[in-house]
């Protein structure tokens, strides 16, 4: 009997690495408030991307937290527009005030506000 050559081995195919599921925002607003608390603790509110991250995390938050995050985002945008102008210090202070307001909203909602 003649031996047949073994079929070429196929390369092993591993399943694609799946991205980890997004963190669960339970209760709603937890992610935004935790991001705010971290930004306050790190004094990084004026760091590019930080306020955008907080605002993005508020997408699943309840109305008070989402509204406070929107006010923070608006204050941050105003501060960016005021860069290099006489109004810059007041605009940056408004970001701090909006962050403080949001921290109060988070606290009133029973969500994490300290890092």
| Helix pair 63-81, 30-42: axis angle to 10 deg | 40
- Give the distance from CA 86 to its chain's centroid: 30
Q: Which of 9-13, 36-40, 70-74, 90-94 has the lowest mean pLDDT?
A: 9-13
Grouping H, G, I as helix, E, B as strand and the rest as coil, residue 53 is: helix
Give the tens place of pLDDT for each residue, 61-97. Answer: 999 999 999 999 999 999 999 999 999 999 999 999 9
Quote the percentage of the chain above a pLDDT of 90: 70
Cβ atoms of residues 4 and 86 within 8 Å = no
User: What is the model's pTM?
Assistant: 0.78
Q: What is the pLDDT of residue 23?
A: 76
Quote the percentage of the chain above a pLDDT of 70: 77
Residue that the structure tokens 């690495």 belong to: 17
Distance CA 53, CA 50 (A): 5
> In whole angstroms, how far apart are CA 103 and each of 41, 47, 61, 84?
12, 18, 14, 28
Give the tens place of pLDDT for each residue, 93-102. Answer: 999 999 999 9
Cβ atoms of residues 96 and 45 within 8 Å = yes
Confidence check: pLDDT of 114 > 50:
no
Which pair of tokens denotes residue 52? 């955008």
Average pLDDT (41-62) is 96
């Amino acid at each position: 009997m003649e031996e047949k050559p073994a079929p070429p081995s196929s390369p092993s195919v591993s399943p694609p690495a799946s991205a980890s599921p997004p963190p669960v925002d339970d209760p709603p607003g937890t992610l935004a408030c935790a991001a705010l608390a971290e930004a306050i603790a790190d004094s990084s509110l004026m760091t590019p991307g930080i306020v955008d991250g907080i605002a993005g995390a508020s997408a699943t938050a309840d109305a008070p937290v989402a509204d406070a995050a929107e006010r923070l985002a608006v204050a941050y945008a105003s501060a960016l527009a005021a860069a290099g102008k006489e109004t810059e210090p007041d605009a940056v202070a408004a970001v701090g005030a909006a962050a403080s307001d949001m921290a109060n909203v988070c606290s009133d909602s029973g969500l994490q506000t300290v890092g």
